[in-house]
Structure 1
Amino acid sequence: MDAVDERPLIERRAVVRDGFYEMQARTMIERVPQSAGIAQRWAVSPYRGCAHACRGCGARAGHRRLGLDAGADFDTRVVVKANAVERLRAELGRWGGEALAVGVSGDCYQEAERTYRLMPGVVAALAGAGVPFTVYTKSPLVLRDAGLLAEVGAQVAVSIAFVDERIRRTVEPGAVGAQARLELVSSLVEAGVECRVLMAPVLPLLSDGADQLAATVRRIAAAGAVAVEPVVLRLPVGTRGWFVEWLGRAHPELVARYEELYDRAGLPSPGYEQRILGQIGQLCRGYGLAAGPVGAVPREPRSSQLTVV
């Protein structure tokens, strides 16, 4: 009898190179989970998993389908869709033009991008098809492609949920600090890129104090962002267990309060969410910032004008 291969699915299908799991994607345009809280319904993600290791990342459950866990494996076993550009071009030929998010199941400018350089091709493919899109990232590596992003009129949403570095070190241990991201916003604006801030996730009872929210919005405005899109922490399946386990170690006194605040789907109480979003909206108006999702205008295909670096 042949021995049963008990390795995780991803290890049977992928090629491991430089510590990354390289595989061929069957599809690139995927539905965004409603729990994500962002404006777009569909997304393109060249990478699955993320070295930023953000404890509240809502994309963690995707690793379970690969035979990996949604905790440490998500942070350390990053899957690279090596055929991302070719697969995306094929799918865009049948796409109806609806706006897309880029980088939902893993930051598209995390360290793997330094090795694989998939994003210039992804950006060129989307722009060539005339599809409006928003790049979501925490990484300064996006500046490498600032010229291309400005040329095609892309939106970039830099994630800055709070400016307290003590919180950042515990809940976003692999990401650069808030100050570096604020400087990133300024650099993108100077390069001619339309840049807004995804103020997400706002952490109940940890980063939702009135003074904390005010400090974050004030510094975002000073950095030159055009808008703020706030999202309160979601705890969908795959994320909830990982986050609550950490919360129990770091802030055990808050576990019961989180259990009361979140429903079975991992969504916060509507009353709490609306109060926080209302506070942030009022702060944004005070600083002349738009608040909430920013609509994207479809563009004409311009692939003949693009230069992929």
Structure 2
Amino acid sequence: MGWDALALVDAADDRPLIERRAVLRGDFYELQARTVIERVSPAAGIAQQWAVSPYRGCAHACRGCGARAGHRRLGLDSGRDFDTRIVVRANVVERLRSELARWDGREIAVGVGGDCYQVAEETYRLMPGVIGALAASGTPFTVYTKSARVLRDAEPLVRAGARVAVSIAFVDERFRRAVEPGAPTAQARLELVSALVEAGVDCRVLMAPVLPLLSDAADQLAATVRRIAATGARVVEPVVLRLPPGTREWYVEWLAQAHPGLVERYEELYDRAGLPSPGYEGRITGQIAQLCRMYGMECGAPVAEPREPAAAQLSLV
């Protein structure tokens, strides 16, 4: 259920669903979620099948973010609203602890619906509780982020045996300004990876999303992998841009303005589900894998290794 489980009430009220079910505080909608562990769409391109996201929407405003469609189910749009109207699961820690008590040990992704260390985390500080709940249950997890705020929690992440995946798709600032306008620079993220590695965090780089016909040239891929290797990271996980409904419209709108000659080629490259041609994707990921071997890094998604759930603590009576 999760975000989809919000019941429609008072059909005469034409406000967005989120405005009827949440409390607006400043720039944030505070919501009491019914469930917090959700299935990850195969279109996301990541290894985990389940995720928990303290925040829905993301101030990084990445054009190619595959989580945009979630805002539509809340009565908001998947474009500007996703970037500026952030939904906070205020009870995420409480609900997560409850759901983990019945969890079977499969790995969970953290922060798929919106960066879990975006600016909202400065106000709500939900991640220490999320990390604590996952660690106490013995559940393996990977945190997805672009933000240096994750360094605040480096020690508990190390103790929990968690992975952190930092997204660095390219090192050309022109692309970053165009398609990730609210995100930290590539250089800042490279420095973040170095800091996480130095702190002993199991850190990998999510080279995502590779932008077809824009950031996929051989010299661009080589420059990105070379800079990643210099951080001390040992693993790169490449993901070619996905364009599921909700993301596709927002990205193609930008593409038509900035690179109108590419729109038709994108229509040929992507299927209706928003997945790139397997032949194209295989060629790009193969190039990145070869570059990783040159620099002594592993390439690809981690192998899922479920853990036995931690034994439930008996209550004292």
TM-score range with shorter-chain normalisation?
over 0.9
Structure 2 match to 1:5? 13
Deviation digits for residues 138-190 of structure 1 (CA, Å, limit 9, x no counterpart): 00110111111112111000000000001000100000000000000000011
Aligned mates of 2:100, 2:296 — CA distance in 1: 36
Matched-pair contact (CA < 8 Å) for 1:25–1:83: yes
**14, 19, 28: which one aligns with 1:20:** 28
Structure 2 match to 1:79? 87
Offset at residue 4 of structure 1 (A): 2.9
Pairing 1:211–2:219 present: yes
Q: TM-score, normalised by structure 2?
A: 0.93
Aligned mates of 2:223, 2:206 — CA distance in 1: 15
Residue 225 of structure 2 aligns to a residue in which SS? Answer: helix
Change (3 A) 1:3 1:122: closer
What amino acid sits opposite 1:205 in the alignment? Answer: L
Pairing 1:132–2:132 present: no
Return 5+ residue gaps in structure 1 as ranges: 305-309
Change (3 A) 1:277 1:12: same
Matched-pair contact (CA < 8 Å) for 2:96–2:130: yes
Aligned mates of 2:19, 2:68 — CA distance in 1: 18
Q: TM-score, normalised by structure 1?
A: 0.95
Structure 1 match to 2:187? 179
Aligned mates of 1:302, 1:96 — CA distance in 2: 11
Aligned residues: 303
What amino acid sits opposite 1:95 in the alignment? Answer: W
Offset at residue 282 of structure 1 (A): 0.4
Structure 1 match to 2:5? none
Offset at residue 14 of structure 1 (A): 0.7
Pairing 1:38–2:46 present: yes
Pairing 1:150–2:158 present: yes
Pairing 1:295–2:303 present: yes
Offset at residue 111 of structure 1 (A): 0.5
Offset at residue 295 of structure 1 (A): 2.9
Runs of 4+ with >2 A deviation = 295-304
Aligned mates of 1:303, 1:4 — CA distance in 2: 46
Offset at residue 3 of structure 1 (A): 9.9
Aligned mates of 1:210, 1:231 — CA distance in 2: 16
Offset at residue 17 of structure 1 (A): 1.1
Aligned mates of 1:151, 1:69 — CA distance in 2: 39
Structure 2 match to 1:60? 68
Change (3 A) 1:302 1:221: farther
What amino acid sits opposite 2:115 in the alignment? Answer: D
Pairing 1:239–2:242 present: no
Structure 2 match to 1:47? 55
Structure 2 match to 1:111? 119
Instruction: Give the percent of matched residue pairs that are identical in Structure 1 and Structure 2.
Output: 76
**RMSD over aligned Cα atoms:** 1.6
